[in-house]
């Protein structure tokens, strides 16, 4: 999440440096989103970015977080994803979503699109492409894939590529709103739910409750190990230093939550950032949101807060760190290092066999 008015090339280099550092430090996964018309999240193609970074990393899994399927023809998406899965040698996690930015869809001439319906329609077609061979006659609601008149097996014409991981890469789905319907879709389709970083803990708790409810209806056992929860986290040597950094006006964390607060006010929905279920929308300030949403402190304090969060919201198996701007590169690198080398060992020692993995 880059602050406004920073040089595009510089921030891309910082993104690359962050992934390489995460790989060295033993982070399990890295996710990159897709946006076309937003200066703070500047990567227009996570697939291109991940293909580039794959050869510069060794073990970290690489996820699209998320691929907005309504913007892709299913043939294009299926083919590009298959290529990326091979280029990453099976390290790909396919996170999909509806796409969040109205400005992106306006730019594509799709302002009135039924994005949730399109996403599921596209995903169904993509999975059919991967699980079968030409000739194709796949009829969806928004797309039809036909390939029968130009199929020449002896010349390899008509073949669409399959993924490296079979039957396909692991699937993940982003969720944000309270009692999100998306997490029911994740349960129904055996997808890994990812709870967003820009919602309060009480909202994240409703995600687990909804997931459990849907899994119970399906006759399945809820598995928290598949659930990823994203949070903004900052670690420093002392509580005082961490709090001072997070609260620095215009700093990486203060700026981001002021930005998000202004976005939701402009959308007429500040209540979606309510730190507590009963917080009146008119009482919300960006400082209130920042202080409630960011986990910060010394390694010991942060470990305690993570354990408390997990006890409060449910047994998530992966903690996902939201990557904030490197307004101070040395400080942000140190925070990542403290998380990997000090905080997570403390957390997992307390959890015993019920271990957490960490992603960025």
pLDDT along the chain (360 residues), means of 10: 93 97 98 95 96 98 97 98 98 95 95 96 98 97 97 96 98 95 96 95 97 98 96 98 97 96 93 93 96 98 98 97 95 98 97 91
Domain that holds residue 75: 1-169
Whether 125 is covered by a domain: the verdict is: yes
Q: What is the pLDDT of residue 353?
A: 87
Radius of gyration of the chain (CA): 21
Q: What is the pLDDT of residue 133?
A: 96
Q: What is the pLDDT of residue 100?
A: 82
Whether 54 is covered by a domain: the verdict is: yes
Q: How far apart are the first and last CA of the chain?
A: 12
Q: What is the pLDDT of residue 327?
A: 87
And the tokens for 302? 């942060």
Whether 320 is covered by a domain: the verdict is: no
Whether 298 is covered by a domain: the verdict is: no
Whether 336 is covered by a domain: the verdict is: no
And the tokens for 356? 């957490």
- CATH of residue 109: 3.20.20.30
162 touches 83 (CB < 8 A): no
Q: What is the pLDDT of residue 203?
A: 96
Strand 318-321 and strand 357-359: pairing?
A: parallel
What is the rounded distance in angstroms from the CA atom of residue 303 to the CA atom of residue 262?
31
Whether 263 is covered by a domain: the verdict is: no
Whether 256 is covered by a domain: the verdict is: no
Whether 196 is covered by a domain: the verdict is: no
| Residue in the block written with tokens 């193609």 | 45
Q: How many domains does the chain have?
A: 1
């Amino acid at each position: 999440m880059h602050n406004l008015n920073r040089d595009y090339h510089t921030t891309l280099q910082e993104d690359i440096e962050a992934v390489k550092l995460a790989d060295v430090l033993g982070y399990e996964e890295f996710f990159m989103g897709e946006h076309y018309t937003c200066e703070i999240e500047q990567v227009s193609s996570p697939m291109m970015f991940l293909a580039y970074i794959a050869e510069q990393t060794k073990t970290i899994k690489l996820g699209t977080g998320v691929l907005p399927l309504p913007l892709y023809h299913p043939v294009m998406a299926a083919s590009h994803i298959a290529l990326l899965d091979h280029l990453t040698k099976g390290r790909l996690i396919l996170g999909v979503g509806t796409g969040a930015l109205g400005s992106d869809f306006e730019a594509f001439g799709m302002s009135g699109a039924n994005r949730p319906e399109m996403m599921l329609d596209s995903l169904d077609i993509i999975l059919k492409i991967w699980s079968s061979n030409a000739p194709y006659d796949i009829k969806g609601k928004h797309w039809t894939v036909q390939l029968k008149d130009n199929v020449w097996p002896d010349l390899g014409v008509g073949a669409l590529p399959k993924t490296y991981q079979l039957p396909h890469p692991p699937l993940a789905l982003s969720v944000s709103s309270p009692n999100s319907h998306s997490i029911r879709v994740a349960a129904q389709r055996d997808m890994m739910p990812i709870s967003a970083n820009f919602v309060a803990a009480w909202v994240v708790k409703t995600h687990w409750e909804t997931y459990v409810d849907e899994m119970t209806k399906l006759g399945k056992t809820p598995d928290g190990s598949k659930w990823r929860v994203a949070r903004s986290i900052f670690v420093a040597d002392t509580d005082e230093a961490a709090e001072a950094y997070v609260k620095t006006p215009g700093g990486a964390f203060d700026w981001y939550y002021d930005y998000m607060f202004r976005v939701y006010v402009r959308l007429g929905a500040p209540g979606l950032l309510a730190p507590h279920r009963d917080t009146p929308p008119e009482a919300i300030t960006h400082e209130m949101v920042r202080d409630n949403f960011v986990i910060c402190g010394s390694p010991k304090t942060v470990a305690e807060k993570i354990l408390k969060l997990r006890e409060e919201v449910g047994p998530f198996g992966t903690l996902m760190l939201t990557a904030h701007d490197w307004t101070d590169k040395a400080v942000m690198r140190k925070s990542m290092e403290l998380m990997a080398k000090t905080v997570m060992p403390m957390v997992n020692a307390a959890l015993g066999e019920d271990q957490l993995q960490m992603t960025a």
